[in-house]
Amino acid sequence: MGRIRYSQRRAAIARSNNPANPNQNACAYAVAHCLFVHDEVRYLHTWGDMLRAVRKLWSMRSVASVVGATKGDKSVGAVRADLMKHATKHSDVSSYVVRVDGHVILIGRDGKTMVDTAPRIRDRRKVLDVYGVYVKPSALQRLASKMKG
């Protein structure tokens, strides 16, 4: 998951859905803002951009195999119960970043959506990636100062 080429980046900026800042897509920006990392990187277009931004302040590990979302056949609605079970076993997880086709969602420990810029009543979008977001001990002071404002 390397960095994208200049021509690919220009194309991503051209089709960005965020007129206020075309360097960052609206859904990725909303998730990054909730995690206090929206200003950590310049670009937020790809999954790699999202991982890089979040990992500046948090630890992020894939939990797709644990929750059974490796084949891309589970929907967001179906994975919620598995995320809640995972959260009860792992007290250090703060939330989950879920990637679906062309979109990113932030789900809390309780399985409820924290951030979704394209919400659904019955969410049948197929899950492509699920990452647990954990507090990075080395970044606790930076996180606390960002939370204060």
* Of 42, 11, 8, 14, residue with least CA distance to 28: 42
**Parallel/antiparallel/unpaired status of strands 127-135 and 93-100:** antiparallel
37-85 pLDDT, tens digit per residue, is 999 999 999 999 999 999 999 999 999 999 988 887 899 999 999 999 9
117-127 pLDDT, tens digit per residue, is 999 989 899 99
* Of 122, 133, 24, residue with least CA distance to 87: 133
pLDDT band at 4 (very low <50, low <70, confident <90, very high): confident
The predicted model scores a pTM of: 0.90
* Of 145, 132, 143, residue with least CA distance to 106: 132
Strand partners, 98: 105, 130
pLDDT at 1 > cutoff 60: no
Mean pLDDT of the region 131-142: 88
